[in-house]
């Protein structure tokens, strides 16, 4: 199963190829995607992305995780989150969301088992 292409990104809106839903923030993995609801884990811009935000994506057997920090990079990614991924043998890229989507799509096109979490506003 391949990772779905992110078809479009604009402020507050993301579309994943093959999915009719428009996301504000989303999680993607080989074979699927869904809304990334920060309320599920109590995530806020600071301290930012938590290991709990990534567990679902990690369980899908990804080799790389791309984290989109927002258009203005307001979303933080603490070292503990990066360490969590590395301890699970997963490569991690932490980028501004437009760059993150470009990298994610490039990896997906190469057939890499890539997943990601993307914040599409600030």
Q: Residue 97 maps to which CATH number?
A: 3.40.1230.10
Q: What does the pLDDT average to over 105-111?
A: 98
Q: What does the pLDDT average to over 83-112?
A: 98
Mean residue pLDDT of the chain comes to 97
- Looking at residue 1, its pLDDT comes to 87
Residue 1 lies in a domain: no
| CA–CA gap between residue 101 and residue 90 (Å, rounded) | 18
**Predicted structure pTM score:** 0.97
Structural domain span for residue 90: 6-118
Domain count, the chain: 1
Environment class of residue 20 by beta-carbon count within 10 Å: exposed (0-12), middle (13-18) or buried (19+)? exposed
């Amino acid at each position: 199963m391949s990772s779905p292409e992110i078809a479009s990104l604009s402020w507050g809106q993301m579309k994943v190829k093959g999915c009719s839903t428009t996301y504000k923030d989303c999680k993607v993995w080989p074979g699927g995607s869904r809304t990334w609801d920060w309320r599920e884990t109590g995530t806020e811009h600071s301290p930012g992305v938590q290991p709990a935000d990534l567990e679902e994506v990690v369980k899908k057997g990804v080799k790389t995780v791309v984290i989109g920090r927002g258009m203005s990079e307001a979303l933080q990614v603490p070292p503990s989150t990066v360490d969590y991924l590395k301890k699970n043998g997963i490569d991690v890229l932490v980028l501004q969301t437009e760059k993150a989507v470009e990298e994610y799509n490039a990896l997906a096109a190469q057939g890499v088992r890539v997943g990601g979490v993307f914040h599409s506003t600030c």
